[in-house]
A and B are shown apart, each in its own frame.
Chain A
Amino acid sequence: MSGAPSTRVSLLEVRDLRTWFGPEATPVRAVDGVSFTLERRQTVAIVGESGCGKSVTGLSLMGLVPAGGRIAGGAVRLDGTDLIGLDHGEMTRIRGRRLSMVFQEPMTSLNPLMTVGEQIEEMLRYHLSLSRRQAVERSVELLDAVGFSRPKRLLGEYPHRLSGGMRQRVMIAMALSCEPELLIADEPTTALDVTIQAQVLELLRRLAAQVDTAVLLITHDLAVVSEVADHVYVMYAGLVVESAPTRVLFSKPLHPYTQGLLACVTSISESKRRLRPIRGTVPPPDALPPGCRFAPRCPHAFARCPSAVPGLVEVEAGHQVRCYLHPGGTA
């Protein structure tokens, strides 16, 4: 778990990652100095509302920052190798094989003109140099593993014949086909029906564990986090505002934003408590408020909040928070 210093190199170490968009002089800071660590076989979650920079963080790790954006600083070390310094060819060799991703949009993420089989097989043949027949056999196994009852028939199907849940399972099969060290799952269940969200999530966790793949789960859904994550990073407006082991975060949330997010989760055991939404919305990264970026929405904001961005301080082992309300938060 996090906190305890280890002699071994972490699987993924992100330090002060900055991904900016737009002009050099007045950049839009979508990700503005994010740091986190992920150990082998661990599941770590990044949580936050839409627009807080979590998806861009995921894409930055993959080297797939959308057009107009650039990594302006920081380090992304996968098993000690800094990915940001790699050239295009070297990064290409890491993607798919050591680092893969499942995207938020199952309906559009598959190539509409290629069969499911073609899309999985090309990966196996390209990375693992399997023969045609081996690739077909392995694809059938993979589709079987993600819960398709007639995997052989599915190979010849085109994506438009499949439901969102089925497509996302195909994406998961594809992403795990080369048994990568790390899978980035960006809102993998958000676009799916509530009834199959849990099913797909459980599948993701089980299969990742089978092939020893660590998972970076990007989500806005705290209910999802509580089930699968070992450690949680809460992001707000391009910054990590709180970081804690999952149990700690749920039992003792310190940042008012985290508390707000938790108050939004319907809990059966606490059904008497009313759902309290956080007022307002995430500020767009080109119009950030001064000081603490959450202050305008914060129920506890006081005079000091707009003065400067508070630092991330460790309040107990493994539990960090970026808020003036907490001792030591004076950076």
Chain B
Amino acid sequence: MAETPATQTLKFTPLSDWHAAHGARMVPFAGYSMPVQYPAGIIAEHTFTRESAGLFDVSHMGQAHVHSSDWETTARALEALVPADVLNLKPGQIRYSQLTNADGGTLDDLMITRSAAPGYEGWAYLVVNAGCKDYDYEHIAAHLNPAVSLKVEEHVALVALQGPAAVAVLGDLIPAVKDLAFMTSVGVTFEGHHLHISRSGYTGEDGFEISVPNTFVVAFWEKLLSDARVKPIGLGARDSLRLEAGLSLYGHELDTTISPVEAGLKWSIQKRRREEGGFPGAARILKELKEGPSRIICGIKPEGRQPARENTEVMKDGRLIGRLTSGGFGPSVGGPVALGLIEAQFATPGTDLVLIVRGKELPAKVVSLPFVPHRYIR
């Protein structure tokens, strides 16, 4: 069994003490001490999220604003860094995108929200990955023109409430969220504190991601947990939930060599950007959009019960055609599930593949994503 790595340089979220006091197993993740699971365990936490509502501490993720005096200036500055259409976002609307590099690889993936708050017309709210955030901020700041500024938000935590009961639970406290459309957001005042609430998530379920002042987050977390429909969920179940939902995880399905098109994310590049380009790596990304990528991320279902893990070799007719980027056990599927980056000619659902697991051949099939249907409220 693995030894516990040294913890002396780890950072903590405002909820770290709460997790430890409630029996969570804390592990180092992206430089933070984070709960991988609570005493209930990953399968129970995963299932509870799909059936009721799971509460996740994702305060390690980076929150920041990019702002200028007007939306067009801010949007154009962001469009120089990402392939999404930022300009046509409506106030409060959220869009998923990627920071790309000059080679068309991916530096990080992120959420971009156009502010709806009066007086903040030129503001975009960003949420980036914990493991990438320091570099992201450097990269963004270095590429902004003098009219546009980056403001890193250090005084806010981030929690996610995910699952079919999420809207009823949060709606009992904050009725305004009941009418919030998927991928839109609203700012509210709750018990004297400003909360930024997004109807979005990383589980395939309906739910919310809520930015909360550090000083209020423990009280807010406990308030949500006082509802019997809510339980705390660790990073272990967060990973199995996103894997079943077919959602990319940076460092796995995305990295500096994998383009958004190869990652199966061409839906996140809107029409105007496909026509105009003007983002880093556009030459490669537009070519892949036109001709199709030579390799692509797809869903892979191993036969039987044995999970196949990240980096497992994927074979077709005795030839290496790619590797798994994520792999594990899907509690809702009731069996192993995986994502792999393979030669695009073999990525058609139904294609038989072979995985090499511990030196043995394990039969597998390409399947369409997601493994578990999304239940977003549109």
Physical interaction between A and B: no
Interface residues of B (CB under 8 A from A): none
